Structure 1
Amino acid sequence: MRPGLRNFAAIFLLGIAAFLASQNGFFRGIDNTFREWRFSQHHVNVSGEIVMVDIDARSLHQIGVWPWPRWVYAGVLDELVRLNAYEIAFDVDFSSRSQPENDAEFAKALERAGGFTYLAALQQIGFGTNGELTLLTNLPLEEFRAHSELALVNVEPEQDGLVWEFAKYGMIEERIVPSLPTLFSPKPETSNNNFYYVDYSIELGSIDRIPLIDLLNGQIDAQRIEGKKVIIGASALELGDLLEVPRYGRIPGPLVQVLAAETRIQNRELSDGGSVFGWLIFGIFAAIVALFRRPPIIRMAFAFIGVSIIVEAVAFLGQAHLLILSETFWVHFGIVLTYVLKVLEAMDIQRLLVRKVSGENSRMQAILDRVIADNFDGVIIIDSALIVLAASTPARQMLDLRSSFVGSTSSVLPEKLFQEVTTALGLAKQNREKNVVPETLILRHGSGDEPELVIEYSVTVSRVAKFDENDAKKQLTDYVACLTFRDITHRYNHEKRMNYLANHDPLTGAFTRSRLEEELLAFIGDSAANRQPLTMILLDLDRFKNINETLGHAAGDLLLREVAKRMNEFGLYSVARLGADRFAAAKPGLMSYEDIDEFSEELISVMTKPYELEGHRALIGVSIGMTDTNNSGFTPKALISQADMALSEAKNIPGNSYSLFLSELNDRIQDRQRVEMALLDAVANKQLYIHYQPQVDMETGYCLGAEALVRWQHPELGTVRPDRFISVAEDSGMIIEIGRWVLEQACADAMKWPKPGKLAVNVSAVQFEYGDVVSAIKHALEVSKLPADRLDIEITESVFVTKQDKFIQTLNEIVDMGVGVALDDFGTGYSSLSYLSRLPVDKVKIDQSFVKNLPEDEQSMAIVQSVLSLSTAMNKRVVAEGIETKDQAWVLRLAGCGIGQGYLFGRPQSNEKFCKMLAIDEPQEILQKAAS
């Protein structure tokens, strides 16, 4: 065989060996790293067709509960439909049931959307009911699927844990279901392959992301939604929906769906080209090299490096423009093997084998020195006499050593490295091996907080043979140490930054909750013998939202940083930020009640001093909750939790306030929790019932109707007072279901009355805020057949604290139905007189707090007369509540009050008893006597 052909065959065999190694996965990690680098060097903007509605940390905090009630998703869907979104997809699991009314509300929203909604279907491997691994499928509830389409959201990472490929379709219940990216990018399929590679050169930062809470609050430009395809999904870290992807690292799952859809929209699906380019270039390379038997080694090295550069350039162009992924490292490895082959050939191995041992060692040492010198890492070889035998170029550069230090003593190394090498060689001579595992060393500090050079090093001691200087045939045992190290400054600074962010709030520098718990535990101590007492403090800012809205978020961020600074300067221990405007800290030791009062007043004074924010002067209020180890024990979670309970109490006190946790507060909160749990099944178990309190015409004495009052009889808690469970129902949202039931039951009862009378039903502000009051009223009237003019809806002024225009519109819809509206507890709210002129109210109810002191209290009498005069002028009837004595009835009748209600005319009673009262059809004797 001719030498040229023989050389070509040898080189080609080296290429085959490298290629087989690649096919067996030896170079997969390196090839994937190359692909990620190519993605990062090519930048493609998104098409703008897709928008992500982001379930971010701020949305979680402002809504305040997780999992969210499904009326939240219904609101999001209605808002997107109103803004003319083209298609809507939820990357949210709706496979489990929640509260029935919330599920029904979301189902209605899907029906209103008209079938343009996709819901997530997820398939994953898990343990079935028989305990064996099987394919599990999570599908949305059946009532949700009735008005939507399924979208497969499966994401399958590769062996390296990264998401490279995406499926176009999947099989669910023997039918083909498209994936979410396929639904958002419909087009004819030109390939039989069901998987495609995602193009991560698409810029993640150019995706339009809208916080969900801003969408709900109507704070976004409609043009961002109109005609767009919308994915609703979570990015909040605490929800854990994060995936590892090439180039970007850990990103939220919905963003992976967006990138996959954008890949198809822009026709950038990548395919695996394998090694086509590599074989083409390697074949040409092998043919050229085979023609030159012994070129100069240096020139050959540059030629081989040039070929490697060409390989990578072709692979980059193929990935960026031809959308082909290539495996190239095997080519570089084959080139290196070829280079070694040509070097060995140039040195004429056959002649080297017959030379004397001394000459052979010398040449092999030259090769070793070259390999070490060209090594990417820092490598220094040191003999047992602590003399430097060889060193790589990066080693000299990183340690700032002269090129001539080879041959000198290793004491020129940094002290720590010199000690490690000396110790390792000394132990080896004693037959006690010690290889230093990788450790980190900061060699040079920069001018700032970050070091200029950090290396990771290891020391390996090897036993080698050498010939005796006096007897060339006699071999002796010797030791050499190999010190290897690499520059990890960037990684060290990155890990240091990640560690800082894991323990500190990036905005204020204060501790996170988890770090606060660690600090508290370290201070308190882990045993009863060394426990240290402390006082836990939680602080919440009042009016912070107003500053954000009026001065902007930059000013709000500046204020938060100043708050953390003031808390630290006040001398508090372990200042932490727990939420948007909530901070925590500790004070070592315990305080008496007098000390707590003084301390709290001083802290409030410091925290409420005016803040200078970029030329603006801002004022805030604070609420403070406190506890100590005497009250809450020595567990950090209990201290924080019970201080938070005290903070909730403080926030109920007007103005700057503070509250200390006591056992009574815990009992009260536990009672609320017991009531809330029991209330969940109160309607279903028919524990709720309605009593009716008569309302009487003050002029004639005849009964005009009654107010419906809900009552609760629990089998274990007994009769639960309304003031004990109504507030719980409002806070939890259960008042919506209870209020709907009361409306339907009361209207049905009123139809059984022996004569027509007015029915008054209370409607909570929560029902107006989160429920559909108009639909509930319509449904109750339709089911019961009660005429609309017999129903009065009683509201309180708290309904109008926020979103006045929205609620006034709702009231107008109620009035248009023929239903009356009464303003309850008049005079106890926020701005009663201003409301009367704007609201579609036909009745005003004077609160019993003004009636109970009549007729002796002149102030109460003056207020009642003013309300009566104002209401008469506005053509509104007046109802007086809480009438218990004849004198109260008499003076109210003389003052012109039209309707009375109270124990004087009748206590709240069952519908049967009230029907008997109506059937009598006689005026109240009490009013007749009062009139006489």
Structure 2
Amino acid sequence: MLLIGNEDPTLRLLVNTVIMGMICGGAFALAALPQAVVGFMVPLIAGSAIFMITDAGPVNGIFAIMFGILTAIIMAGSLLHSKMLIRRVAAELEAREKTSVIELLLKSFEENSSDWLWRIDAERRLRDVSSRFAEAAGTDQKELEGASIQKLLKKLQSLGTAAAKDLLLNIRARRAFKDVTIPISLGGQQLWWRVTGEPCFDETGAYIGYRGVASDVTDTKLAEQRLSYLAHFDPLTGLVNRASFYDLIADHFAQSRSGSCFAVHFIDLDQFKAVNDTMGHAAGDRLLEEIAARFSSVVAPPDTLARLGGDEFAVLQRSGTSTDAAAALAQRLIDASVLPVEVNGDIFRVSASIGIAMAPSNGADGETLLRSADLALYQAKDAGRSTFCFFHTGMDDIAQERRLLGSELASALEAGELCLHFQPLIAAGTGEPAGFEALLRWQHPTRGLVPPSTFIPIAEQTGLIKAIGGWVIEEACRTASSWPEHLKVAVNLSPAQFEGSSIVEAVRSAITEARLDPQRLELEITESLFIAQPEDVLDKLRQLKGMGISVAMDDFGTGYSSLSYLWKFPFDRLKMDRSFVSAIEHDRIACDILRAISSLGRSLGMSITAEGVETEAQAKFLQGIGCDQLQGFLFSRPLPVENMPVYFLQPVIRRHRGEAGAQPDAGLFLKTGNQARSPL
């Protein structure tokens, strides 16, 4: 302070300037240490205060005040600068700590995840390549480090793909992108990467490259492709499925010229259910694969073959198709299907029934055209199967008639419109009735007598056959209980009566309610009964036979495996099919078949019945080969219940007319039959 008060102004100015420079420099030099700033500045401020008190000079006093203010400002500024410096250092330390944590987490993520991180610089060269990235790319880290991203995409055979072009375009435009799926080829395998990235900039805003994450999504992509395939193709045969086939027809209608002709074939395999149910679904699947391969060899592009489900197939025959071309294709499909098929060493034979609809004459849209083809398929099956039919307008009327009959049949039983007629079973040796076969009839209030061939298939399709079949058994047993005790009653059973119902309990209840001797009841079945669940059917038949009921095989000789069923189950009777009987007088092969059946039956201890006998020559031949019973219009048509008393009294009436000495033989009933001969 003494120097400050020196009389020499020059010296005083110099000293003050030096002192002020030392004060400012010291304050800023010690800014990082707040305590040192305080220790340095407080003595100066205190000295200024003392000088101001001890020196009363006006100039020195003013100078001291200014000096104190300046030092105070310098100290405050130094303290503020120190505080800001400390905060910045703390922030930097915190940022470094966060960066370390992030790097640690990213490293852990990459090591333990199926994803990997990637980074490129401003020249689009790979940087900081991780081991996970190198492994996914099938190369070495050192080789990838510094390589251009174009070089990597070229190595992975992805450079020219649309996805890779989109990726590079985004990078050039410095746009962020997400979930870009790139196909790659690695080690001969087709893989897919999903890539996400964003551009990076430094503190000054300068572009420094890209960073992002990538992952292998091959499994997901394959699953998506599989789902897409299943949505459009049949997994068993690889053919177009139902949904895609319907879409193809709709597209073809939309794309075809006005009046353009094309065909749709609906195909259903005959006898397939027998294979599927008796040999198992695995054998059925192999059979379908073989049939699909055969159909594929017949159907050539631009035509399309599809599997609609089960044993149903379809063909879209393209524009320009004529009815002749459609018929030729249908016949080739049938010819391909009828060839024997070997499955697990077993030989199977199936065939195909086909319904054909022509566009646009049979339908102006897909739904109508497919419905027309379906109706034609039903007609083909009714025509005997293993054939094809074209749709015609009358089929709509037939389908409508069937639906109406089905609706009316549902109430026919409750309305008492169903009834039984009984056709005699004549003992071949004596010509006398040994029993009667119960035949179902529908006396419709407006249609009259509806033949069984019309309504029985409808009853089976709608499921009404179970209720109707139960009523037939009950009514037949009740009626037979009033006959002479030596007469039996035969009842036909439908395969549907064995499905999901207790036929054994139904029969037991019927004979108990009617008080009928079980030995007077004979149940007739066909080979089709064994198609579904043969072991279950055989078990139920054994239970019925154990009750004393007779079991007969109807329509024998028309199936393909009758002998196997005769070996599995001891039938009481075989009924020769009417198709053989009607050929007796003009077909020697039919006669030989009938002789063989009769011989087989006798050797197995079974009785033989011939149905459909209409002439004396047929009756004599059948008697000669050893048939036990004869049935047909030669003897009598089926009789309603109210006419049966007259039938029973005929021998008494004949004796009363002086014919008591006549030998009872088939001729006695022949006259009755000739008088009453009429269609069913």
Equivalent residue of 1:525, what SS? helix
State how far apart, in whole Å, the 2-side matches of 1:661 and 1:595 are. 15
In structure 2, the CA distance between the partners of 1:603 and 1:803, relative to structure 1 (3 Å rule), is closer
Deviations, residues 685-726 of structure 1 (Å, cap 9, x unaligned): 433222233455677776555332211244576543201122
State how far apart, in whole Å, the 1-side matches of 2:460 and 2:203 are. 85
State how far apart, in whole Å, the 1-side matches of 2:375 and 2:87 are. 85
Q: Which of these residues, 190, 194, 200, is aligned with residue 450 of structure 1? A: 190
Report whether the alignment pairs 1:686 with 2:416.
yes
Equivalent residue of 1:510, what SS? coil
In structure 2, the CA distance between the partners of 1:819 and 1:666, relative to structure 1 (3 Å rule), is same
Report whether the alignment pairs 1:440 with 2:168.
no
Aligned to 1:776: 506
State how far apart, in whole Å, the 1-side matches of 2:613 and 2:341 are. 51
Listed as ranges, the gaps of 5+ residues in structure 1 are 1-347, 426-434, 467-476
State how far apart, in whole Å, the 1-side matches of 2:93 and 2:393 are. 85
Equivalent residue of 2:652, what SS? coil
Partners of 1:739 and 1:763 within 8 A in 2:
yes
In structure 2, the CA distance between the partners of 1:522 and 1:374, relative to structure 1 (3 Å rule), is farther
CA drift of 1:908 comes to: 3.2
Aligned to 2:51: none
Partners of 2:375 and 2:391 within 8 A in 1:
yes
In structure 2, the CA distance between the partners of 1:785 and 1:579, relative to structure 1 (3 Å rule), is same
State how far apart, in whole Å, the 1-side matches of 2:214 and 2:268 are. 47
Aligned to 1:499: 228
Aligned to 1:749: 479
Deviations, residues 867-887 of structure 1 (Å, cap 9, x unaligned): 778877877666554556788
Instruction: Give the TM-score, by structure 1 length.
Output: 0.46
Instruction: Give the TM-score, by structure 2 length.
Output: 0.60
Partners of 1:696 and 1:900 within 8 A in 2:
yes
Equivalent residue of 1:783, what SS? helix
State how far apart, in whole Å, the 2-side matches of 1:403 and 1:834 are. 77
State how far apart, in whole Å, the 2-side matches of 1:541 and 1:696 are. 36
Equivalent residue of 1:914, what SS? helix
Instruction: Map 1:35-54 to 2 at 5 A.
Output: none
In structure 2, the CA distance between the partners of 1:654 and 1:388, relative to structure 1 (3 Å rule), is same
Count of matched residue pairs: 551
State how far apart, in whole Å, the 1-side matches of 2:472 and 2:624 are. 35
Aligned to 1:489: 217
State how far apart, in whole Å, the 2-side matches of 1:920 and 1:868 are. 31
Listed as ranges, the gaps of 5+ residues in structure 2 are 1-81, 110-115, 660-665, 672-680
Partners of 1:855 and 1:891 within 8 A in 2:
no
Partners of 1:625 and 1:661 within 8 A in 2:
no
In structure 2, the CA distance between the partners of 1:353 and 1:758, relative to structure 1 (3 Å rule), is same
CA drift of 1:744 comes to: 0.8
State how far apart, in whole Å, the 1-side matches of 2:480 and 2:346 are. 58
Aligned to 1:910: 640
Instruction: Map 1:132-531 to 2 at 5 A.
Output: 351=85, 353=87, 375=106, 378=117, 415-421=165-171, 423=173, 438-442=178-182, 444-446=184-186, 448=188, 450-451=190-191, 453-457=192-196, 484-490=212-218, 491-525=220-254
Partners of 1:889 and 1:927 within 8 A in 2:
no
In structure 2, the CA distance between the partners of 1:604 and 1:352, relative to structure 1 (3 Å rule), is farther
The one-letter code of the counterpart of 1:762 is N
Q: Which of these residues, 463, 466, 469, is aligned with residue 736 of structure 1? A: 466
Equivalent residue of 2:638, what SS? coil
Deviations, residues 811-844 of structure 1 (Å, cap 9, x unaligned): 5544443434445445555577897898655555
Deviations, residues 188-216 of structure 1 (Å, cap 9, x unaligned): xxxxxxxxxxxxxxxxxxxxxxxxxxxxx
State how far apart, in whole Å, the 1-side matches of 2:534 and 2:287 are. 32
State how far apart, in whole Å, the 2-side matches of 1:693 and 1:717 are. 23
State how far apart, in whole Å, the 2-side matches of 1:847 and 1:365 are. 99
Partners of 1:890 and 1:927 within 8 A in 2:
no
Aligned to 2:457: 727
Aligned to 2:352: 623
State how far apart, in whole Å, the 2-side matches of 1:830 and 1:610 are. 13
The one-letter code of the counterpart of 1:489 is V
State how far apart, in whole Å, the 1-side matches of 2:281 and 2:510 are. 45
Partners of 2:264 and 2:314 within 8 A in 1:
no
Q: Which of these residues, 746, 755, 764, is aligned with residue 494 of structure 2? A: 764
In structure 2, the CA distance between the partners of 1:558 and 1:352, relative to structure 1 (3 Å rule), is farther
State how far apart, in whole Å, the 1-side matches of 2:341 and 2:83 are. 81
Instruction: Map 1:783-932 to 2 at 5 A.
Output: 783-796=513-526, 798-799=528-529, 811=541, 813-825=543-555, 828=558, 840=570, 845=575, 847-849=577-579, 881-882=611-612, 901-903=631-633, 906-918=636-648, 922=652, 927-928=667-668
Partners of 1:524 and 1:533 within 8 A in 2:
no
State how far apart, in whole Å, the 1-side matches of 2:462 and 2:619 are. 39
Equivalent residue of 1:589, what SS? coil
The one-letter code of the counterpart of 1:781 is I
The one-letter code of the counterpart of 1:486 is A
CA drift of 1:782 comes to: 0.6
Higher Cα Rg, which structure: 2
In structure 2, the CA distance between the partners of 1:423 and 1:527, relative to structure 1 (3 Å rule), is farther
Deviations, residues 234-282 of structure 1 (Å, cap 9, x unaligned): xxxxxxxxxxxxxxxxxxxxxxxxxxxxxxxxxxxxxxxxxxxxxxxxx
In structure 2, the CA distance between the partners of 1:722 and 1:526, relative to structure 1 (3 Å rule), is same
State how far apart, in whole Å, the 2-side matches of 1:753 and 1:516 are. 60
In structure 2, the CA distance between the partners of 1:393 and 1:930, relative to structure 1 (3 Å rule), is closer
In structure 2, the CA distance between the partners of 1:361 and 1:553, relative to structure 1 (3 Å rule), is same
RMSD across aligned positions (CA): 5.9
Report whether the alignment pairs 1:567 with 2:317.
no
Equivalent residue of 1:781, what SS? helix
State how far apart, in whole Å, the 2-side matches of 1:535 and 1:809 are. 44
In structure 2, the CA distance between the partners of 1:836 and 1:599, relative to structure 1 (3 Å rule), is closer
Deviations, residues 269-323 of structure 1 (Å, cap 9, x unaligned): xxxxxxxxxxxxxxxxxxxxxxxxxxxxxxxxxxxxxxxxxxxxxxxxxxxxxxx
Partners of 1:372 and 1:390 within 8 A in 2:
no
Aligned to 2:441: 711
Deviations, residues 13-62 of structure 1 (Å, cap 9, x unaligned): xxxxxxxxxxxxxxxxxxxxxxxxxxxxxxxxxxxxxxxxxxxxxxxxxx
State how far apart, in whole Å, the 2-side matches of 1:859 and 1:923 are. 42
The more displaced of 619-628 and 703-712 is 619-628
State how far apart, in whole Å, the 2-side matches of 1:676 and 1:440 are. 59
Equivalent residue of 1:560, what SS? helix
State how far apart, in whole Å, the 2-side matches of 1:808 and 1:366 are. 83
In structure 2, the CA distance between the partners of 1:586 and 1:749, relative to structure 1 (3 Å rule), is same
Equivalent residue of 1:707, what SS? strand
Equivalent residue of 1:786, what SS? coil
State how far apart, in whole Å, the 2-side matches of 1:643 and 1:791 are. 44
The one-letter code of the counterpart of 1:494 is A
Aligned to 2:662: none
State how far apart, in whole Å, the 2-side matches of 1:803 and 1:653 are. 27
CA drift of 1:778 comes to: 1.7
Deviations, residues 63-87 of structure 1 (Å, cap 9, x unaligned): xxxxxxxxxxxxxxxxxxxxxxxxx
Q: Which of these residues, 319, 334, 338, is aligned with residue 589 of structure 1? A: 319
State how far apart, in whole Å, the 2-side matches of 1:493 and 1:893 are. 73
CA drift of 1:747 comes to: 1.5
In structure 2, the CA distance between the partners of 1:759 and 1:609, relative to structure 1 (3 Å rule), is closer
